Chains A and B, each alone.
Chain A
């Protein structure tokens, strides 16, 4: 993590602690998910394998999946601080922050208003990850797209939003326009070029290291001489990245979100850890629609490219998912289909980056009380990655995962 990021976190922490005596109470939310799981297929990337799932076949069936705590503190009428901390038993960093932001949303009388936020956060591209701590309330395992956003994409920066809520101007249509500027997301694109898109629910913490398999073409001194991991939130080239986004909603029934994200990296910049700045840009289009019978449809499409070095790695990537979710009393049934493709077009045939796959995810989650929920999820995915044979693993892999989850929640949904 860069010094600037550390300063932002220290500043936010100081601000929060100085407000403990504030008359308005802080709002706390959080949840813990734990249970039993079984995964098949190749060893997980977390254990430096080529597998795309969070757990390996020989991992302990009993797991703590999530431990999330979110606190939100108002400062006067317009300002608030929002911090999310996560704990994991797997991965490199066990305890840390996934988001920390200072938000400004003044009361404004006119039809068009503005707001802003600064800190370390996700752009609001996803319609899947809408629960506390950027978790999904639908399935436990995120889609290919949002697994990747959760592990490699975060904005240490500033976002400004112009928005017009429709109801106050007697329109069924509401819109928002977002523009963000940031530093420190330079290695974005690393894992999808080498490991491929994963399927999991482990978000990368603020100072975390994301492992993948030690592909010889990547780690060899005669290859690309890159570690078999990435720390995704480093600033490497000193350049500012940006994104723009637009939301359009019809009542609260249907919403479309488009984003164009470009980290504006210099692909030849490399730091002393041998991490590169990857010039990564993509379009993301997400749609959610509630049908009158209570069924909700959520979909997202992403298409982009990433470039590292003097075209040592260049890959186009595309992914799409479609999810249907329906409440039945206290329960919710969700089914998601998705596919992904990474196509390389670079000067290093010794470092193949092609990968593709598709997956089905089926989840049932049922509230037992205000605090307790249980659920089961089954997932099947088929994937191909051209670089796996380097590690004596078949390029084609099928894997399945099943999990039973008990969740305890504090605070509001």
Chain B
């Protein structure tokens, strides 16, 4: 997030696109409701009638995968009506005129054809967002999990800089991170192309800094992303994997492909708190401590580093991940001897200036938001107050390309996937909670009443959902949440895994899979 969660309540317009905030980030939704009660206007763009729609002035029910057309269409109207922020464009951006030309093809009429959103609503959205200078955009995986995920984000950025809705309090671009420490894992560089703090691994001066600190030579070539690792494993280029606290069998697209990849490995280690579907395929399984059982820090979606404190001891012989990794490293001949997690942060903050001022001592209380370069620095509530790191920010022309797989005669429905309120991600934690299982323990596919009627499927019927990659048996839930032609399956349930169906086509830039759109066929089970 460029803003803080607190700032949401001071925004005048909230544009929520591809985020089921009320179910995936319920407490952030509470802030949005606070803004709503203060009089903020809310726009929700989503293929599904997600619960936040209840609070929306405007619901743009778009076809899955048509975000770029919608965003460009809104930008086009903003420019046509002169709602852009001329001062901001002149002072802080480059490439406006060239970009503007690319918008011409996104007339409200054509965008209506592509997205299914009535052109009047596109114009209303443009006037609402473009007419405000205290507007925030919120998105999650509904934007990013597409083969055009990077371009979707660029289209959002264009909209924000067009209106100057970034770099001030109460206005910005806010991807809501879906997992407790996914921000921190990225910051700490569990990523193949950067070293801690997003410092590029292909730059010799960056590598030298880390090599001096670590006393080793760091390979200069970026590695493989998670999704590429699975392809490489199938092709035999990856022989061994060490998986710490992940469950890719459930969370990766195209489950059969993932299973084939992991089964084909010469050696697989899984370190986890439960015998997950992934752990079952391992050669060695190590019992880990969960976050209630260890000390450390998490970084939340607003870049706030907060203390995690040990409340209970791990069960049996389970150990915290830190001590396990240090021990294996030592046995492989590379010594990492941190006496406590605090010592790790001490090293980490020396190597990443934005974290430089963050110490355990300062984290008592409410935590600190990075960038926080010095021990005196209070942390940063919102980004780009003093301009953009590169000086001027570019408008990036973004063209609309349809999803990799579209509905056709053979597979006439579009499947989109996501979370529900009660379960979490691969379910390895929540599915062990009896109360949650009692209430939301059964997988389901959301089908519109129209499609239910046409197919002769009633609420509660077990049906077969089939894609080019796999099929599942699952209960139908007839609901107006989805519109005709679209179905939704939550990702959490191993016994009817959404990812047995999903497409593993990737975004060419960041290799994120297209979880949000694939083609399926529905069949009554009898």
Tell me whether A and B are bound partners.
no
State the A residues within 8 Å of B (CB).
Answer: none
State the B residues within 8 Å of A (CB).
Answer: none
